[in-house]
Every structure is written in structure tokens, then in C-alpha cells.
């Protein structure tokens, strides 16, 4: 019935999709949940097309019974029947099914795998703990290029550890210290769970040998702790990817959660979390506290990318792996949502000319962020003029971009807010978010935005104009060089914006006809 219905459908691709590649999907069978993520296509900057989770608790009670939870198995298989239909509806070309701790350790894991394969129609890959650690580390590097530190992937049934150093993954350890496993082994006592975690992790060769100061945390329960930290501290972004916290601050939060758990309570701020995450939060706190203390880390950084993304990242060519995921994603947005995607190349070159003419120093990081800002500078044109700035800021600060931290997001948001709303601080809005921008980068962001404000009036967001113009500068003036016959470009509104730009460089604006 389902197959005949699905086969009757036409290809569902829409104009809002990139390219003609078929979607690719990963079904992750964990100890706490099973999750299907369908990606638009298999590229360096993955875009989720569909994402659904079924909280089934396959590993619940397994420490005592040795078998997968019967009710969890029923919920998981029922969810997968729906997932199979969704894969057919979305025309998934390739589906990978990955099973982790609970399935590989359970006495009845083989029976469960047979049922899954019958439903999904593909072979299930049962990953070892070391493979889990490896792919989780690759997922981190996919979202945080050049990250260094010790990584921990805290699932429902196990904790995997691996080292990451720039583009290198090393080590690989696994411990039966997942959230559900700790809850079961400790008889639902978070203080006892902390003791269990300390005892087991004391044997970790990776933690003993690690020389890098940052711990990178993956897993839904640890991300819930990060979100709790954000809410508790009134942090302006709800984005967990790339969120960095001093280790002492996170240890204080873990102690607070454990103290509340001892009283049979959870923090009031945890109401923002799902009921399932609230239940497991103390056990995530117990494990994270043990890791941070034993490893003596100075900071912890949270990653929303892990096993699924790492598995796909590992299949890319070396060249594709080295590509910049932020700039690739921004180019896709420009292609989908700007009035003329080719205009961004003109705008980038026009801005670079000004930077070089004015001899403004730029770090490699700023050049990259300026390019990203350029690609996103016209994505809000369909919105009402009064709200284009807000839409652009929301896109940057809430979008699923990777390859940047929160200060980077704030830089791009500052450029776009000023590009649409004007250069005066009181006009920018979003003060709390924009304040996340590094102090030394704020003036640069405003200068770039001022250049864009001039450029868009000159070019009407179309290619072929800016590449005919040039800049020059002396001790007193900033010159916009316009070809003879195009003097009309020096219109009144453009000149007002040009005056603002020149003022940022402590110059007077002037037009030079060439």
C-alpha cells in the first residue's frame, strides 16, 4: 500500500533545493533514541532536509537483563516503519543505518537487527565503541575545522572518547557510562553515578595523556546541560553548536544539578528542556563533572555534530573535506535567496579594493568572515524594509551554519544589521547578540557594512557595475573613481552614504572621474 502510493508520486524537488542530487540519509540507532536525518545531498556543508527522533529507550534495564528493552524495541520498530515511508517519499538515494552501544551489547541484538533490516531494506552497520569515537571526532571536525582537544560523545549506553588535533583524530576509548546506563547502574542516584564515572574514567589512558586544554562535548544530554547554562546565564543565543564555557563555570552548574537531584528536584531553568532530557540531566552532569575534573580541562565546548555527520564526512574526498563549510553554505544561500548571485563576486572584489587601498590590516579569519557576510548581504531582500535587518540577523545567529563560533556569528550579524539598519549603534538593534562580537572586530564590521551600503546603491544589487569602479586615497580624501559617462552614479543618497564611509576612515568623500 505504502510503496504503491509512494511510487505514484512525482519527484518532490522544489526551487528551494540545491542541485539535482538525490538526498542521503543516516538512521542512528542509539541506546536512548533512534533518529533519522535526511540531508539534501552529500556535500561538505550538509543541510538537513528532514530530522525526526523517536525516544524509545532501547538500553533501559539492559544492565540487569542483558537484553534490549521490549517496549523500546516495539517503539523503535514502529518508528522505523514511518522512517521507511519518509525515505521513500523524499526519494532518498542512499540510506545508512548505524547501530551503537545497546544493540552491539544486547543478547537479543541480532534479532532486533534482523527486524530493522527487513523494515528499512538495507544492511545495519553495528559500530564498535572505537568506531563510534572515531566518527564522533570526525563529526566534530566537520563542524569545527582545526579544533583541538579531547572529545567525548555521551550517549544513552556509552561514553566514547577520542583526541582531535587540527585535522587529526587519534585514540579511541569506550566506557559503559551513557546516561541510561548510569541511571540504571546507580539505581537512579546521581551522586552514585558520579562515583561510578570517576572510578571508570580513572583508567582512561587518553585522559591521562591528553595535553590539550579543551574538552569537546557531544550528545543530547550534554547539549541539554549547555542549554541550561545558557538559560541560567541569560545568554542571548540559543545556539549550542560552538558554545564555549570555562570549565569552572560548567563544574559549578554540574554541582548545582547534582545538588538539586539529591533533593529529588531539577533546576527551574530546566523547564525549557524536554521531559526525557530533564530526567537524564543529573546523569549527564555526573559524567561531565568526572571528565572535567579528571582531565583538569580549562574549558568545554559543545558540538551539535557528531556520529552521523562524521560518518558522512569520512566518505568525502580529501579535497572536499578541506573545503570551507561556512563559505559553501553561504554560497548556497546566495544562490537560493539573493537577487543576483553573481553580484556577490563584484561586491567582494569592490570591498577588497577598499581594504587594500586604505591599507587596513585583516587577519585571515576576518577575510573569511567578510566573504561570508558578502554572500549573505542580499538574502533578506524579499522582506519588508523595516525588518530586513532583523531577518538577516536571525538567519546568521539561528541558522545551522558550521565552521564558526559565536563571536564569528556576531561579526556577520553586525555587518548585516548595519548594512540594512544604518551605522549608528542605536539603529542596529540586537544589542546583546552583537555584543558577542570581538571588540577588536567591531569597527571592521561597521566599515564593511558601510561599504556595502554604498555598493548596493551604486549597483542595484546587479553584477557588472562595481567591477568598473575603483578607489583611491590620500591624506585628506577617499576617492570613489567612476568612469567618464557614468557620473550619474554620484547620486545624492549614495553620496550621503559615501560621506559616512569616508568619515570612518577619517577622510572626506570625493568623486574622481576616470
The 3-state secondary structure of 369-433 reads HHHHHHHHCCCCCCCCCCCHHHHHHHHHHHCCCCCCCHHHHHHHHHHHHHHHHCCCHHHHCCHHH
Give the Cα separation of 54 and 300 in Å (integer): 28
| Grid cell listed for 302 | 559543545
> Which pLDDT belongs to residue 211?
81
Give the Cα separation of 132 and 98 in Å (integer): 10
For the chain, residues with pLDDT lower than 50 are 1-9
| Grid cell listed for 140 | 566534530
| Calculated CA dihedral for residues 407, 253, 174, 197, nearest 10 degrees | 160
> Which pLDDT belongs to residue 2?
44
Query: pLDDT digits over 27-81, tens only?
Result: 999 999 999 999 999 999 999 999 999 999 999 999 899 999 999 999 999 999 9
Which of 477, 475, 467, 468 is CA-nearest to residue 499? 477
Give the domain 24-126 fold: Nucleotidyltransferase; domain 5 (3.30.420)
Give the Cα separation of 219 and 270 in Å (integer): 17
Give the Cα separation of 109 and 31 in Å (integer): 12
Are 150 and 92 contacting, i.e. CB atoms less than 8 angstroms apart? no
Give the Cα separation of 415 and 369 in Å (integer): 10
Which residues lie across from 159 on neighbouring strands?
154, 175
Give the Cα separation of 190 and 402 in Å (integer): 34
> Which pLDDT belongs to residue 4?
44
> Which pLDDT belongs to residue 49?
94
Number of C-beta neighbours around residue 490 at 10 A? 16
Give the Cα separation of 86 and 166 in Å (integer): 37
Architecture of domain 325-513: Orthogonal Bundle (1.10)
| Calculated CA dihedral for residues 382, 385, 389, 391, nearest 10 degrees | -40
Cα-based distances in Å from 138 to 240, 306, 346, 372, 512: 18, 7, 35, 24, 53
Domain ranges of the chain: 24-126, 130-309, 325-513
> Which pLDDT belongs to residue 276?
84
Are 174 and 307 contacting, i.e. CB atoms less than 8 angstroms apart? no
> Which pLDDT belongs to residue 116?
97
Distance of CA 376 to the CA centre of its chain: 17
pTM equals: 0.91
Give the Cα separation of 221 and 156 in Å (integer): 9
Which of 284, 303, 302, 286 is CA-nearest to residue 294? 286
Give the Cα separation of 10 and 17 in Å (integer): 15
| Grid cell listed for 27 | 538512521
Whether 130-309 and 24-126 are alike in CATH topology: the answer is yes
> Which pLDDT belongs to residue 15?
66
CATH of region 130-309, choose from 3.20.20.80, 1.10.3720.10, 3.40.1110.10, 3.30.420.150: 3.30.420.150
Number of C-beta neighbours around residue 409 at 10 A? 25
Amino acid at each position: 500500500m505504502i510503496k504503491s502510493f509512494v511510487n505514484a508520486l512525482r519527484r518532490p524537488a522544489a526551487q528551494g533545493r540545491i542541485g539535482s542530487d538525490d538526498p542521503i540519509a543516516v538512521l542512528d540507532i542509539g541506546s536512548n533514541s533512534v533518529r533519522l536525518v535526511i540531508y539534501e545531498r552529500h556535500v561538505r556543508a550538509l543541510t538537513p532536509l528532514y530530522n525526526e527522533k523517536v525516544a524509545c529507550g532501547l538500553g533501559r534495564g539492559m544492565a540487569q537483563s542483558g537484553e534490549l528493552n521490549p517496549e523500546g524495541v516495539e517503539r523503535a520498530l514502529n518508528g522505523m516503519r514511518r522512517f521507511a515511508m519518509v525515505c521513500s517519499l523524499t526519494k532518498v538515494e542512499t540510506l545508512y543505518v548505524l547501530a551503537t552501544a545497546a544493540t552491539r551489547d544486547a543478547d537479543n541484538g541480532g534479532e532486533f537487527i534482523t527486524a530493522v533490516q527487513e523494515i528499512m531494506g538495507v544492511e545495519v552497520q553495528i559500530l564498535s565503541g572505537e568506531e563510534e569515537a572515531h566518527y564522533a571526532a570526525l563529526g566534530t571536525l566537520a563542524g569545527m575545522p582545526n579544533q583541538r582537544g579531547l572529545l567525548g560523545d555521551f550517549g544513552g549506553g556509552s561514553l566514547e572518547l577520542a583526541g582531535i588535533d587540527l585535522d587529526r583524530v587519534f585514540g579511541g576509548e569506550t566506557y559503559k557510562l551513557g546516561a541510561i546506563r548510569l541511571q540504571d547502574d546507580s539505581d537512579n542516584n546521581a551522586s552514585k553515578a558520579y562515583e561510578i564515572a570517576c572510578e571508570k574514567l580513572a583508567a582512561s589512558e587518553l585522559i591521562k595523556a591528553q595535553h590539550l586544554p579543551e574538552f569537546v562535548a557531544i550528545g543530547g544530554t550534554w547539549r541539554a546541560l549547555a542549554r541550561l547554562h545558557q538559560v541560567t546565564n541569560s545568554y542571548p543565543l540559543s545556539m549550542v553548536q560552538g558554545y564555549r564555557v570555562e570549565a569552572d563555570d560548567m563544574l559549578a552548574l554540574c554541582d548545582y544539578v547534582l545538588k538539586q537531584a539529591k533533593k529529588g528536584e531539577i533546576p527551574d531553568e530546566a523547564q525549557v528542556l524536554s521531559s526525557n532530557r530533564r530526567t537524564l540531566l543529573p546523569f549527564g552532569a555526573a559524567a561531565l563533572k568526572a571528565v572535567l575534573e579528571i582531565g583538569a580541562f580549562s574549558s568545554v565546548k559543545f558540538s551539535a555534530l557528531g556520529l552521523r555527520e562524521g560518518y558522512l564526512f569520512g566518505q568525502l574526498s580529501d579535497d572536499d573535506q578541506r573545503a570551507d563549510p561556512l563559505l559553501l553554505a553561504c554560497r548556497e544561500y546566495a544562490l537560493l535567496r539573493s537577487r543576483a548571485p553573481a553580484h556577490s563576486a563584484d561586491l567582494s572584489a569592490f570591498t577588497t579594493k577598499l581594504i587594500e587601498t586604505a591599507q587596513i590590516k585583516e587577519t585571515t579569519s576576518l577575510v573569511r568572515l567578510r566573504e561570508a557576510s558578502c554572500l549573505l548581504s542580499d538574502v533578506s531582500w524579499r522582506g519588508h524594509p523595516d525588518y530586513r535587518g532583523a531577518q538577516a540577523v536571525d538567519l546568521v545567529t539561528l541558522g545551522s551554519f558550521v565552521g564558526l563560533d559565536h563571536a564569528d556569528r556576531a561579526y556577520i550579524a553586525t555587518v548585516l544589521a548595519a548594512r540594512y539598519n544604518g551605522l549608528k549603534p542605536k539603529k542596529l538593534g540586537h544589542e546583546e547578540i552583537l555584543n558577542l562580537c570581538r571588540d577588536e572586530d567591531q569597527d571592521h564590521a561597521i566599515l564593511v557594512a558601510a561599504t556595502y551600503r554604498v555598493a548596493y546603491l551604486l549597483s542595484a544589487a546587479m553584477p557588472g557595475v562595481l567591477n568598473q569602479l575603483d578607489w583611491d586615497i590620500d591624506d585628506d580624501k577617499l576617492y570613489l573613481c567612476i568612469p567618464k559617462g557614468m557620473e550619474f552614479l554620484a547620486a545624492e543618497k549614495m553620496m550621503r552614504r559615501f560621506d559616512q564611509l569616508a568619515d570612518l576612515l577619517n577622510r572626506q568623500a570625493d568623486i574622481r572621474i576616470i
